[in-house]
Amino acid sequence: SVGDPVEVIPRFRRAYLDQLPFDRAPGIVRLRLTHSRAKNPEVVLRAFTSHVERSRTRQAELREGVGLSDLPIREDTVLFRTFYGENTTCVARGIHRELVRRGADLDLCWAVKDLSVPVPEGGRPVVVNTTEWYELMHTAKYLVDNVHQPDWFRTRPEQVFVETFHGYPFKQMGLPYWREHGYSEPRIESFLERAADWSYVVSPATYATPLLREAFGFDGEMLEVGYPRNDVFFSPEAPSLRADVRRRLGIAPDAKVVLYGPTYRDWLSSTEFVSQMVDYLDYDAFLEGLGPDTVLLLRGHAMNARHKNRAARRPGLIDVTDYPEINDLVLASDAAIVDYSSLRFDLGVAGVPMVFLVPDLERYKGDRGALMDYEPTAPGPLVSSTQECIDALSDLDRLKAQYADQVAAFKRDYL
């Protein structure tokens, strides 16, 4: 189902390495060829910006809107941003897809960290921290984000800011989380000021609406419409998209695909944005237990994606942590192993059977805190070992039948 991986490591002569670093900026990207302390070659690509544009003085002027805040509002422009420009996915992508489907006469712009980030069809990229991006922040009629907007930014009266967030609420968030984890009062006040600047907040479900209001002190209009990103699960194109994703990942049409999507742990986090992945699932034993026709898709959290350590390559395992669209992976999967991630809600919408690998359940409850009891939000077996995952996933029809009532209650109460 998946071919044996081949790793090729380039080697350079020492005399050439001694001449590095080598910089070039052809106008689209800035390329830097350098080497590590161990003299291993490294290629670094960054978005192209001029020296003037990158200067602290110019960046400060752009943030303050010097020469920009008096420009006319672009009534036909939408500026999307997801996960700080690291990708172009989540709720914003669902909104984008629907606007394109309706033929909306709008300029659909995506804030990206650099031009390596793919933009959905019908959109155009705008690199963060460039003059064009700052100009759009000050002039786009509509802004859509799934994290807090930059702390320096405030909308103009004519602008509309839509905050979507990026997951169904479960973990402690907002004010209770900030205070329990020792955020400074000025920082908390900054978060609250930015929340007060939102025009609308998208709520994925009825249960979520009061939780989002309370956590972020938001008293504006809630759009309790579900997550547009999940519309794809019910689209006529879903079967062909599933087949296409499998083909692009090199997965045989008849393979059993299991998506493993653990969330990050605070106690494994080195910074506020970086965390090592848990190691509760023995990949080799799992793949051996379910046989050669099984493929495991490993999807780390964004916090894990920023960590240098990744799972070693092996046949049957595909690390899709950096794959840009997680709903593609949901469509491609026959079952999933999850834990406390809000991914379980999206999997529930899609009807994918789930197993919950939670050997650290009590520690997670005590460390991170939750907004509700965990068990009703986990409609499947709660297990603590790789062998239990193998046993549960060996017969998917049995798994679906055994937990049909729990799945029905989960959908009724949370989706």
- Per-residue pLDDT tens, the chain, 415 aa: give them: 444 445 566 666 777 667 766 666 555 566 677 767 766 777 766 665 666 677 888 888 888 887 788 899 999 999 999 999 999 999 999 999 999 999 999 999 999 998 889 999 999 999 999 999 999 999 999 999 999 999 999 999 999 999 999 999 999 999 999 999 899 999 999 999 999 999 999 999 999 999 999 999 999 999 999 999 999 999 999 999 999 999 999 999 999 999 999 998 888 888 878 888 889 999 999 999 999 999 999 998 878 878 777 887 889 999 999 898 999 999 999 999 999 999 999 999 999 999 999 999 999 988 888 999 999 999 999 999 999 999 999 999 999 999 999 999 999 999 9
One domain for residues 77 and 32: no
In order of 58, 138, 153, the CA distances from 64 in angstroms are 10, 10, 8
One domain for residues 286 and 203: no
Q: What residues contact residue 371 under an 8 Å CB cut-off, 6+ apart?
A: 169, 170, 171, 172, 173, 211
- Distance, in Å, from the CA atom of 241 to the CA atom of 222, rounded to the nearest integer, reads 32
CB 330 within 8 A of CB 253: no
Is position 219 within any domain? yes
Amino acid letter at 209? T
Is position 129 within any domain? yes
Amino acid letter at 234? F
Residue 3: per-residue pLDDT? 47
One domain for residues 225 and 241: no
One domain for residues 213 and 103: yes
One domain for residues 304 and 213: no
- Distance, in Å, from the CA atom of 108 to the CA atom of 95, rounded to the nearest integer, reads 10
Phi, psi of 23 (to 5 degrees): -120, 140
Question: Of how many residues is the chain composed?
Answer: 415
Is position 318 within any domain? yes
One domain for residues 302 and 198: no
Q: What residues contact residue 54 under an 8 Å CB cut-off, 6+ apart?
A: 129
Say which CATH number the domain at 161 has.
Answer: 3.40.50.11820
| Owning domain of residue 63 | 56-229
Domain boundary among 212, 229, 246: 229
Q: Please name which of 274, 36, 302 lies closest in space to residue 146, comparing C-alpha atoms.
A: 302
Domain boundary among 170, 201, 229: 229
Is position 323 within any domain? yes
- Distance, in Å, from the CA atom of 365 to the CA atom of 372, rounded to the nearest integer, reads 10
Q: What residues contact residue 48 under an 8 Å CB cut-off, 6+ apart?
A: 25, 26, 27, 28, 29, 30, 127
- Distance, in Å, from the CA atom of 144 to the CA atom of 223, rounded to the nearest integer, reads 13
CB 367 within 8 A of CB 410: no
- As for how many domains the chain has, the answer is 3
Q: Please name which of 137, 130, 134, 107 lies closest in space to residue 119, comparing C-alpha atoms.
A: 107
Residue 260: per-residue pLDDT? 97
For residue 407 the two structure tokens come to 């799945």
Is position 240 within any domain? yes
The C-alpha R_g of the chain, in whole angstroms, comes to 23
CB 175 within 8 A of CB 190: no
The C-alpha angle 143, 144, 150, rounded to 5 degrees, equals 75
For residue 56 the two structure tokens come to 């602290």
Phi, psi of 395 (to 5 degrees): -140, 95
In the three-class reduction of DSSP (H, G, I as helix; E, B as strand; rest coil), residue 35 is classed as: strand
One domain for residues 208 and 114: yes
Is position 222 within any domain? yes
Q: At what angle do helices 283-290 and 386-393 cross, to 10 degrees?
A: 30
One domain for residues 122 and 218: yes
One domain for residues 324 and 265: yes
Q: At what angle do helices 56-63 and 131-139 cross, to 10 degrees?
A: 10
For residue 178 the two structure tokens come to 């900030």
One domain for residues 276 and 216: no
In the three-class reduction of DSSP (H, G, I as helix; E, B as strand; rest coil), residue 288 is classed as: helix
For residue 348 the two structure tokens come to 């529930």
Q: What residues contact residue 212 under an 8 Å CB cut-off, 6+ apart?
A: 165, 169, 201, 203, 218, 222
pTM recorded for the entire structure: 0.85
